[in-house]
Amino acid sequence: MLNNVIIVGRLVDDPVVKTLDSGLSVCNVVLAVTRSFKNPDGEYDTDFISCVLWKGVAESTAEYCKKGDLVGIKG
């Protein structure tokens, strides 16, 4: 059985595609994900999750998404 995760959050910065020496496209993004429950102080905490996107997904994300956009990532 495989493990899957789906993360939904907002982009912290504009995505930028880099091309490696091998010709592969890569894009590093950070998602701000607000927790669905409050901490003891009565506030919602936010987690910042780094993700690496490859090939066509990296290029499409950089073309169509910008800082603050709500995106979902499945991996």
* CA atoms of 37 and 21, how far apart (whole Å): 44
In the predicted structure, residue 1 carries a pLDDT above the cut 80: no
Name the residue with higher pLDDT: 1 or 18: 18
* Across 8-14, average pLDDT: 96
CA atoms within 13 A on the CB side of 14: 4
Q: pLDDT tens for residues 29-75? A: 999 999 999 999 999 999 999 999 999 999 999 999 999 999 999 98
pTM: 0.85
